[in-house]
Chain A
């Protein structure tokens, strides 16, 4: 069988290409509720939940997702999409790491397809992906009923092993050679995604990923 020719670079987004995380996005929307009372209530509630977010994320990314996205319950789809551009300009764009664009440029020069696979929400990722000239992105999608978020995510939920599954299926469908491909992430939760490509790269990794990267002689990169 002939070798598949194209390679790709798969990026986690938050903590890898930008310094923000899901909580920043949630905080942004919490500050933009309809009415002052709702804004204060949502902001306080978000701050109060921070320790729980941390604990659940340490325990399991899937449990974290179930708990975290409940915070969006009742948000209107229109409102979320309306503020997406502002979210990008005010919060995400300034958080792009200094080296992000260079890394993507070097990667594009090799003819690699640029793909973001992230647990962030699709409407927040879209403007950022366009700005970074990302070819394809796979992000989480909130479930909306009658235009309002239910607090649940539509499957497949992008986290840990699901990202790896998505990448494998995408590679199969698009004739991407995973052995020649790169994956970039900052978190141990993305170990499955890093493990299925030929060139895994830990970017400003957390402690556990750094230890894993050192053990397996993976490249460790700092884009700040």
Chain B
């Protein structure tokens, strides 16, 4: 009876009972069906907020009625130099069905620019130290008309290693340096087109991080900042956000920025794959058939084919809010909408947290989720999706499900390989790695040219990925990988392995006690657990 009553705490929180269905969990590029112990608290994403009926009209309204700024049309003058910067392929996840919201924003903004006699326009992808987008990806993002008109001379990726193309803005009063894209800096107006998928995105991060160089980034992408962020998904408690905020102030003093931000709902999957985010207790016959069909199809496919298939499924996100104008005020409005969509109130922390690792992360779009990225998803993103206090108690056990294959993409993640196989066996201490090796990697001429001329992440990026998991690493007592196909990858990461989830739960209970409170994040999920006592 007690369990039945507990079911009703929130529509996104379900407790496993004696008659509960098994749960679907991601397992890399596959999905598994697992029975969970009675009493396990399962956290689902909130139902998607209904999208705006006409997103183009919403964007047009936002730029004509901005917050704390003159309307965009009033800021445009014939002959002026305008740069339009936008988020890269790491947002949203997975890439959304076309037309991408950036395309819609661009269509509105470019129309307005042309109507006001502005022709000197450059479109820059604010990829920071992420990999540069391929031409195909760039075309998909903005549509063929805009692409054909601007690519490659006036539509390109930011290059954080192009000394000629960067210019120093200055230093914050905390001595944090900032060097940004020269074209953006020397423009009369910088318009930023943002997609705020999670609360960590957007705001001052867009320009101060998206268009900066390595030296600027390393001032805040470092272990202590991450440790001091509680969590980095809740900006008021994020030291990372505070540092970026200071840099943003510096940007505002030197650049005329007009920010356009959008919030999306969490409708990740459309018809056919919607079962992946549904409560399994409510499955109907058709849903069970969908699951059986998916499972059977996947069982006949090799991993790479499954990956290709998953990466070909576009997300069905809708725009739920759009605001424009002054960066901070716009961002505050968008964050409100993010919280409305994502916050799930949770009462009490847990001793054991179970989280499946799907093949979705900001850093592996169209490539493999390598072991370092598995780490960043587990101890970085999944651990940090909270407000107030972590979902898992300090010293608790985190169980993840992933094969942990030893596979890296040589084109996208070349420096990750060396980081993982050369450095991590020597030390997992983030401070030591930063001190001894970060600069060596950052200055590696071959890796730098792979970043500049190819589609590789910046050579220092694997370090940031390791730091990204640092507050999780400091907090979590033990990580167990259920279903890891080898022992050496979990070993290098300092984790334990189990053959399956049942064994992993038994191991976790042996550490945390038989009466451990167990919670499960029903992945893939974008939710912010607001944890109270």
Q: Which residues of A contact B (CB under 8 A)?
A: 9, 98-99, 102-103, 106-107, 109-110, 182, 184, 199, 201, 213-214, 217, 219-224
Contact = CB atoms under 8 A, between A and B. Distances in A.
A217 to B, nearest CB: 4
A217 B445 contact: no
A217 B449 contact: no
Contacts of B447: 219
Contact of A106 (B408, B449, B454): B449
Contacts, number: 51
A99 B444 contact: no
B452 A102 contact: yes
A102 B163 CA distance: 11
B410 A214 contact: yes
Interface of B: 161, 408, 410-411, 414, 417-418, 421, 443-450, 452-454
Contacts of A102: 449, 452
B453 A220 contact: no
Given A103-B445, A107-B445, A217 B450 contact: no
A52 to B, nearest CB: 35
Contacts of A110: 443, 445
B449 A99 contact: yes
A106 B453 contact: no
Contacts of A106: 161, 443, 445, 448-449
Given A219-B446, A223-B453, 14 more contacts: A9-B445, A98-B453, A99-B453, A103-B445, A106-B445, A106-B449, A109-B443, A110-B443, A182-B446, A201-B446, A213-B410, A220-B411, A221-B450, A221-B454
Nearest to B418: A217
A106 B444 CA distance: 8
A100 B410 CA distance: 21
Contacts of A217: 408, 410, 417-418, 421
Nearest to B408: A217
A183 to B, nearest CB: 10
A224 B408 CA distance: 24
Contacts of A223: 449, 453
A135 to B, nearest CB: 15
Nearest to B421: A217
Contacts of B414: 219-220
Nearest to A213: B410
A213 B410 CA distance: 10
B120 to A, nearest CB: 26
B378 to A, nearest CB: 23
A201 B410 CA distance: 12
A105 B256 CA distance: 34
Contacts of A213: 410
Contact of B449 (A103, A199, A214): A103
7 closest residue pairs by CB, A with B: A106-B445, A201-B446, A219-B446, A107-B445, A217-B417, A219-B414, A103-B449
A10 B197 CA distance: 45
B453 A222 contact: yes
A5 to B, nearest CB: 14
Contacts of A99: 449, 452-453
B152 to A, nearest CB: 13
Contacts of B453: 98-99, 221-224
B233 to A, nearest CB: 33
